[in-house]
A and B are shown apart, each in its own frame.
Chain A
Amino acid sequence: MLGGLRPHSMSNGATMTYASVLSLHRLTHLRRLESESIQIMREVVAQFRNPAMLYSVGKDSAVMLHLALKAFHPSKLPFPLLHVDTTWKFREMIAFRDQRAADLGLDLLVHVNQDGVDQGIGPVSHGSAVHTDVMKTQGLKQALDKYGFDAAFGGARRDEEKSRAKERVFSFRSAAHRWDPKNQRPELWNQYNGRIHKGESIRVFPLSNWTELDIWQYIFLESIPVVPLYFAAPRPVVERDGALIMVDDDRLPLLPGETPQMRTVRFRTLGCYPLTGAIESEADTLQAVIREMLVSTTSERQGRVIDRDGGASMEAKKQEGYF
């Protein structure tokens, strides 16, 4: 047990006063966030018949999974993990995913939109908008329908983006997976209304109140494994439209005059490799990454091509069923 709670200090503290117990056991902000997330997860398992956890392999998913292990201990996770694989994820992400699932004995479901594969959809040939819609959003909807999940956890945070700041923890989706931002259920106290009709579902965001810094601090405190791509290493990249794109395999066609260069880079956020820009960095340890973030002067999602497609781009995608 790390952080503000030190239960062991009681074992030899027979003379402790009531007030000192209280001050010793004040919950720190990370412990309060942790408890809130655990409560949300238990609520889902108590209220729903067939939930699943969307696992995107990134740092937020890593924290969400860790919290889930805590929430149900000593029981095993009472739901499967679902990874919607766009087939363009970094190879290291896939290797990490499979290793974690094996280490923890998790029930991992991987879904690929076969229609998209058959049509040859990809970020390079079709651009980020089409690729994301077909391989990610449509793929996700296919998977949810295929397994009949009535609730799906996602690792989104309210500090990430404007439309997320307004989304509920229990976010209702119609039978067609649509989000209606104008017609959300009021959410008071810690009362989460998960009542739905057949075919409808709830997206659940247990990390709603976490910030990027909270996530990294918690990863540090709890020693949570994350994909090595978050740490700086020499990697082959090309520079395109001001973004450093990693040449992760030979599917990335090089433009005339382009030669991959080995540069010491890392990623603040992970998605499909041709859509995710790296940053030049020497931060090769967790503490160095946190240091870099503490002095960072740009916001996290600026490395993501997806958010730049249009003004209200995230809100529009979310309405269509994107997480």
Chain B
Amino acid sequence: MNAPLDLSLEDVAAYLRTQEEKDLLRFITCGSVDDGKSTLIGRLLYDTKLILEDQMAALEKDSATQGTTGGGIDFALLVDGLAAEREQGITIDVAYRFFTTEKRKFIVSDTPGHEQYTRNMATGASTAEVAVILIDARKGVLTQTRRHSYIVSLMGIRDVVLAVNKMDLVDFSQDTFDAIVADYAAFAAQVGIERFTAIPLSAKEGDNMIAPSPRTPWYDGPALLPFLETVEPRRDIADKPFRFPVQWVNRPNQDFRGFSGTIASGILRPGDLVTAQPSGRSSRVSRIVTFDGDLDVAVAGQAVTIVLADEIDISRGDALCAADAPCGVTDQFAAHILWMNEAALMPGRHYLFRLGTGQVGGQITELKHKVNVNTLEHQAAKHLDLNEVGFCNVALDHALPFDAYADNREMGAFIIVDRLTNATVGAGMIEFGLRRATNIAWHDMEITKDAHARQKGQKPCVLWFTGLSGAGKSTVANLVEKRLHALGRHTYSLDGDNVRHGLNKDLGFTEDDRVENIRRVAEVAKLFVDAGLIVVCSFISPFRNERQMARELVEDGEFFEVFVDAPLAVCAERDPKGLYKKAQEGKIKNFTGIDSPYEAPENPELVLNTAEDTAEALADRVIALLRENGHI
């Protein structure tokens, strides 16, 4: 902690005052274990006296038994259980470490460097202001250096240190260092890193770590720690237009209504004119309220509560902006997405998007390309697997306030959440809003959904039959539609095989195409419900996600999921179209139940077991369900 060992109380008071001036830097270290990353962090902790007596005793003991430094202290062992993690098979995860010097407190995101941990590295980079990219001087710029640099740039880090480590093993050769720097500079520009600071060092022996090393007289730049103590990465955050995502409406009583949140960028003073997005309404700031009293000025990074002069309708998810430079509002944008889940990203699948303080459903409408994180090549793709980066168009269910990520990290970053598992499955950075969103407005039709329904004298809905091929979906659905027709109801049937002859004839049976198939059908079903019809859909529709999406397209109470259940063996035995036989012979790929999964409904409105009851009896039950719910 760099404090002298003999302190008077006056010294402590003085020390505490200096602490009031100290600021904070978050940085990430990237590099594989071989590059000496752990040694570098261990060395920083050691040299800033963050290692205490009991820890040092343990380190000396471990160095003797497990160390790789031939008797010397092995700093890598300090950075705890990475090895232990691997032994236990735990996913290598981001660890946060802390140290402090006279000038700054540091938070280090310590992240692993292998390709399978790209998501962990991105997680660590998301909150970092500076990146330290390690290179082994003996090896020079490698594929992984390229990958680390790309992720760092993608996550918007503008201050990069190229730490050329293990200089002691190349005799502190200036030629070696210069060659590596030239090599790196060539592609740094290519990945969007405009500038970087290259430092020759030896983490193990301490050269250029906290002070200039006598062994690199040819290097006149800063040592690593002094650089980290003085770099100013947040210099422009207060310069940017005022942005304030509203987190929480603070309303203790009838007389007070404030908007609580953290200023994402810019400066705010009472009297400033602000505009609330997406509504576009403006008002003046009357007070900036904190527990410590009202403020005359507040800056980016501060958590405050804003009171406006006028009563305008503002809620969580909205953003208060400088009135002369408000943020954009869009429901469609182009973004880079990093996929973080074992279950692949499927264009057309419905996910939740958390952007700013808003949360809204939406989907990836187009996967333009994926980026090979090692070569930076653009490749065509139909889905994104774990750790892959893609450039995508996204459509949200309704518009949210945003800025491009490059302009404002907090206003342009979003996470993607799976609707069923609630897992965080992706992270995205908005590149730009799509004009289309603003140009395609809803045209208000005068003949409304209600008018259509009234004319037909019925309550429209969707009957969604799902189940394995051969389960009997189409048979039961056909009977149901005949009865409804006989009852004078207006209906239409959408059938899996039939739509593939027309609307969806361009789609195959891969997971991506199946998702798109159901998306289109669900949209058509919704239009038919708007038209006042009772829509009978018969689709294998194997994935819960898409059935959920279809359900959410229509209003509550308008969707009936009917699970047509029959054991796989029974379906394969029936095999009305001879498909199971072909699938078992390997002539058809991706056949549900054989080499493609079927996710059974968890809470269907109705389960029909076609192995036990006749189709007639089952159709009766569907009719009864519609009757109970007032649709007939």
Interface of A toward B, CB cutoff 8 Å: 1-5, 7-8, 10-11, 21-22, 25-35, 38-39, 42-43, 45-46, 69-76, 158-159, 162, 165-166, 181-182, 184-191, 193, 195-197, 208-209, 211, 213-214, 217, 220-221, 285, 287-288, 290-291, 294-299, 302
Beyond the given pairs A22-B267, A191-B354, 16 more chain A to chain B contacts, judged by CB atoms under 8 angstroms and listed by A's residue number, are A10-B296, A22-B299, A26-B23, A30-B19, A32-B24, A46-B357, A166-B93, A190-B262, A211-B100, A288-B12, A291-B9, A294-B7, A294-B15, A295-B7, A297-B54, A298-B53
Per-residue interface assignment for chain B, residues 269 to 301, with 1 indicating a CB less than 8 Å from any chain A CB and 0 otherwise: 100000000000000000001111101111101
A294 near B1 with CB under 8 A, answer yes
Stretch in contact with the other chain, from B157-165, B244-252, B607-615:
B244-252
A181 near B90 with CB under 8 A, answer yes
A35 near B301 with CB under 8 A, answer yes
B239 near A22 with CB under 8 A, answer yes
B316 near A46 with CB under 8 A, answer yes
B414 near A33 with CB under 8 A, answer no
How near does chain B come to A298, taking the closest CB pair, in angstroms?
5
B267 near A25 with CB under 8 A, answer yes
Do A39 and B262 form a contact, CB below 8 Å, given A25-B297, A166-B95, A187-B424? yes
A1 near B427 with CB under 8 A, answer no
- Which residues of B have CB within 8 Å of A39? 247, 261-262, 303
Q: A161 to B83, alpha carbons, bound, how many Å?
A: 17
How near does chain A come to B481, taking the closest CB pair, in angstroms?
36
A71 near B303 with CB under 8 A, answer yes
Q: A208 to B94, alpha carbons, bound, how many Å?
A: 13
Q: Count chain B CB atoms within 10 A of each CB in A1, A195, A217, A297 and give the residue with the most.
A: A195
Q: A121 to B15, alpha carbons, bound, how many Å?
A: 46
Q: Residue of A at shortest CB range from B413?
A: A189
B12 near A294 with CB under 8 A, answer yes
Q: Quick one: which of A34, A187, A221, A297 contacts B303, CB cutoff 8 A?
A: A34
Q: A70 to B304, alpha carbons, bound, how many Å?
A: 9
A189 near B289 with CB under 8 A, answer no
Q: A4 to B289, alpha carbons, bound, how many Å?
A: 18
Do A75 and B297 form a contact, CB below 8 Å, given A2-B20, A298-B53? no
Q: A69 to B305, alpha carbons, bound, how many Å?
A: 13
Do A73 and B302 form a contact, CB below 8 Å, given A287-B12, A297-B53? no
Say whether B16 faces chain A, with CB atoms less than 8 Å apart.
yes
A213 near B90 with CB under 8 A, answer no
B410 near A189 with CB under 8 A, answer yes
B247 near A42 with CB under 8 A, answer yes
Q: Quick one: which of A22, A165, A213 contacts B238, CB cutoff 8 A?
A: A22
B291 near A69 with CB under 8 A, answer yes
Q: Quick one: which of B9, B55, B105 contacts A287, CB cutoff 8 A?
A: B9
Q: Residue of B at shortest CB range from A26?
A: B23
A296 near B52 with CB under 8 A, answer yes
Per-residue interface assignment for chain B, residues 3 to 23, with 1 indicating a CB less than 8 Å from any chain A CB and 0 otherwise: 101110101110110011111
Say whether B107 faces chain A, with CB atoms less than 8 Å apart.
yes
Q: A182 to B342, alpha carbons, bound, how many Å?
A: 14
What total count of A-B pairs have CB within 8 Å?
A: 210
Q: A181 to B93, alpha carbons, bound, how many Å?
A: 9
- Which residues of A have CB within 8 Å of B293? 1
Q: Which B53-98 residues sit within 8 Å CB-CB of chain A?
A: 53-55, 80-81, 90-91, 93-98
Q: Count chain B CB atoms within 10 A of each CB in A10, A182, A193 and give the residue with the most.
A: A193
A287 near B262 with CB under 8 A, answer no
Say whether B415 faces chain A, with CB atoms less than 8 Å apart.
yes
How near does chain B come to A169, taking the closest CB pair, in angstroms?
10
Give 23 pairs: A residue, B residue, CB < 8 Å, sorted on A: A2-B292, A10-B269, A21-B297, A22-B238, A22-B267, A28-B23, A29-B24, A38-B262, A39-B262, A42-B248, A42-B261, A71-B303, A74-B289, A165-B80, A166-B94, A187-B123, A188-B126, A188-B424, A193-B415, A213-B100, A214-B105, A291-B12, A297-B53
- Which residues of B have CB within 8 Å of A27? 23-24, 299, 301-302
Q: Is the interface of B mostly helix, strand, loop or mixed?
A: mixed
A193 near B424 with CB under 8 A, answer yes
How near does chain B come to A46, taking the closest CB pair, in angstroms?
5
Interface of B toward A, CB cutoff 8 Å: 1, 3, 5-7, 9, 11-13, 15-16, 19-24, 52-55, 80-81, 90-91, 93-98, 100, 104-105, 107, 119-120, 122-123, 126-127, 238-239, 247-248, 250-252, 256, 258, 260-262, 267, 269, 289-293, 295-299, 301-303, 305, 316, 340, 352, 354, 357, 409-410, 413-415, 417, 422-424, 427
Q: Residue of A at shortest CB range from B352?
A: A195
A191 near B81 with CB under 8 A, answer no
Do A1 and B54 form a contact, CB below 8 Å, given A29-B24, A191-B354, A193-B417? no
A197 near B422 with CB under 8 A, answer yes
B105 near A195 with CB under 8 A, answer no
Q: Quick one: which of A10, A45, A186, A302 contacts B123, CB cutoff 8 A?
A: A186
- Which residues of A have CB within 8 Å of B256? 74
Q: Residue of A at shortest CB range from B239?
A: A22
Q: Quick one: which of B21, B97, B296, B423 contacts A7, CB cutoff 8 A?
A: B296
- Which residues of A have CB within 8 Å of B414? 191
A31 near B122 with CB under 8 A, answer no
How near does chain A come to B38, taking the closest CB pair, in angstroms?
14
Q: A302 to B53, alpha carbons, bound, how many Å?
A: 11
Q: A39 to B316, alpha carbons, bound, how many Å?
A: 13
A189 near B127 with CB under 8 A, answer yes
- 7 nearest A-B residue pairs (beta carbon): A29-B24, A297-B53, A38-B303, A188-B126, A294-B3, A195-B422, A70-B291
- Which residues of A have CB within 8 Å of B303? 34-35, 38-39, 42, 70-71
A1 near B100 with CB under 8 A, answer no
How near does chain A come to B171, taking the closest CB pair, in angstroms?
37
Q: A291 to B123, alpha carbons, bound, how many Å?
A: 36
Do A209 and B422 form a contact, CB below 8 Å, given A39-B247, A193-B415? no
B248 near A165 with CB under 8 A, answer no
A29 near B104 with CB under 8 A, answer yes
Q: Residue of A at shortest CB range from B81?
A: A162
- Which residues of B have CB within 8 Å of A73? 289-291, 305
Do A182 and B290 form a contact, CB below 8 Å, given A197-B422, A298-B53? no
B96 near A28 with CB under 8 A, answer no
B248 near A46 with CB under 8 A, answer yes
Q: A213 to B2, alpha carbons, bound, how many Å?
A: 13
A25 near B299 with CB under 8 A, answer yes
- Which residues of A have CB within 8 Å of B262? 35, 38-39, 190
Q: Residue of A at shortest CB range from B245?
A: A190
How near does chain B come to A241, taking the closest CB pair, in angstroms?
16
How near does chain B come to A81, taking the closest CB pair, in angstroms?
17
Q: Count chain B CB atoms within 10 A of each CB in A71, A285, A288, A294 and give the residue with the most.
A: A294
Q: Residue of B at shortest CB range from A162?
A: B80
